[in-house]
Every structure is written in structure tokens, then in C-alpha cells.
Amino acid sequence: MTRLPALSVIGTPTKRNALLEVAAEADRRGFAGLASPGINGNLALCGSLAHVTNEIPFWTSIQPIYHSHFGEVAITAGHIAEVSNGRFRLGLGVSHAPAMDRLGIDTGKPLGDMRTYVNGIRSAERASGALPPILLATLRDKMLDLALEVGDGAIWANASRSYMPTQVARIPDDRRATFSLANMVPTVIDADRDAARAIHRRTLGGYIVLPNYRNYWKQAGYAEEMEAIEAALAAGDRDALPGLMTDRWLDDCTISGSPIEVRDQLEAWFDTGVLPIAVMSSTSGGQLHAIGQLFELFS
């Protein structure tokens, strides 16, 4: 039986209504879920998803904890969970220091701040009503361990498939049936692998400059690539970065190729015990076009 992935959906200005139509189609087609990244008002989008879909689960992937007070997020999450008949999941994350700096937001220690925020969400349940499951954005083991302690699941982004079994092994046997695991994986359907990789290099170019991601990829077995990238960054040579993003590393963190190759790579992610969330891009169009290619793949 073919296993359908979850799908990343972003509420891009002027295209929100079209995206809701796509979400409804994903629901009809039986996709595994809808994940709304932490840009362009993902909680607002999830509120709309509750009313245009019927069966598909959906979640924030992720809602940055520094953007909103935990009490307001708890009430919003409780509302969406109720009106969607329990299909909503609240994905929380600390986002990235550079993004918070641009907004003028002071951040603290990620683990401590996340623990405090989740505790605050749970303490507000009397006002919010029944809360949805809480998923934590995860990269390395300490945040995964915190997710096991205070949450109901973990979500990675741009994770290395070859390294995922090592982290999944940290999950106790008695939690595996109920502890949600998912990964946001950049996906391009194009038989021209070099063209697809060029898209991925642009996508991941925004992540390799972040120390937390480089530290994760070092842990995942790509120390040589990450150290070369750090040397280029230290020298101010950003033009060198694409050439340092090796195919070996890129193909472990993304999905690309012909329709058959993409289907096989999605299946390989399922085999790790982690739900793949296809973050669609295309060499020939925007988000809606790329999602259409995914629909065609599974038609």
C-alpha cells in the first residue's frame, strides 16, 4: 500500500484562498497531514484549515515561542483543536537567533525557555479548554529528550535521513506508538537532479549560516562539509558556499529526482519511523505548482 506523506502549506499573501483549496484537495486525496511553517501567520492558517478540511490532521511546524505569550497561544490552540474535532497539533519551536534579532526579540536558553513555555501552555488549559498534543521542533538530542519529557512528539527540519535511526533509537519502546515523529524535507520533482539540487542549495543556503544547524549536521556525520562552510563564512566568502554543499550531504537532507525516485525517497523516510513532510519547491513554478506535481505523483 502506498504511504502518502504530509504536506507543508504556507499562507502566502494573495494566494491564501488558492492554498485552502489545495489543502481541501490534500484532505480528499488522503495525505497524512498538513504542516504550517512559522511564517505568514501559521496559527491563522490553521484556523482556516479547521473549516475547509474534514479528516486530515494539521499542525504548526512550528509556532515560534518568542512571538506570542503562552496564554494567548494556549487559547488559540484550544479553540482550533475544538472546532477541528481534535485534528490540530501545536508544534512549538525556538526559531533561530538571527530571525529573533531582526525582530528585536531577546531570547534566552532554548531548553529552559521551551520547558517554561510548554509548562505555561499547560497551566492555561482552564481558560483554553482541552489542549491539542504538543510537538517540539527538534534537531539534536537534548531537545528530543525534552520533547519526550514534556511533549507528545518531535518535528525536525532538513534532517539527515542516514542519521535519523540513531535519534529514533532514543525513544523508549513504550512511547513509540503514541509519540509523533516528523521531518520537514525539501522536495523537488525533476528528473534533472542537478537542477533540483540547485533549488535545494538555495533553500538550505539560509540554514547553513546558522550555528545550531551546522552543529546538528556535524553530529550527523558531515563535519568536513560544515567546517569548510565555517571557514568560508569566517573569511567572508559567501560565494564559495554553494560549492561546499556537497551532493552527498544535500541528498541526505532533501528529496529530488524523477517521480519514481521521489516516491522511493519518501518511502525511505517512512522506513525510518519518521513521517516525511514534503516541503515542495519546483524548477518550473511556485508553491502551488509544486504541490500539483506532488498530487500528480500520487494520482
DSSP line for 225-279 = HHHHHHHHHHTT-GGGHHHHS-HHHHHHH-EEESHHHHHHHHHHHHHTT-EEEEE
132 lies in some domain: yes
pLDDT at position 77 over 60: yes
264 lies in some domain: yes
| Strand-pair category, 6-8 with 134-137 | unpaired
Per the structure, the count of domains in the chain is 1
pLDDT at position 111 over 90: yes
Q: Cis before residue 189, ω within 30 degrees of 0?
A: no
pLDDT at 96: 62
pLDDT at 3: 96
* Average pLDDT in the chain: 95
pLDDT at position 100 over 60: no
CA distance 261 to 249: 17
219 lies in some domain: no
pLDDT band at 199 (very low <50, low <70, confident <90, very high): very high
CATH number for the domain harbouring residue 115: 3.20.20.30
- The answer to whether the pTM exceeds 0.85 is yes
pLDDT at 163: 98
206 lies in some domain: no
pLDDT at 1: 73
pLDDT at 2: 86
In contact, 185 and 276? CB cutoff 8 Å: yes
269 lies in some domain: yes
What's the average model confidence in pLDDT over 261-267?
98
What's the average model confidence in pLDDT over 250-279?
98
CA angle 113, 118, 119 (to 5 degrees): 100
98 lies in some domain: yes
R_g (Cα) of the chain, nearest Å: 19
- Grid cell locating 71: 496564554
pLDDT band at 102 (very low <50, low <70, confident <90, very high): low
What's the average model confidence in pLDDT over 102-125?
87
Domain residue limits at 272:
6-190+254-297
CA distance 180 to 99: 27
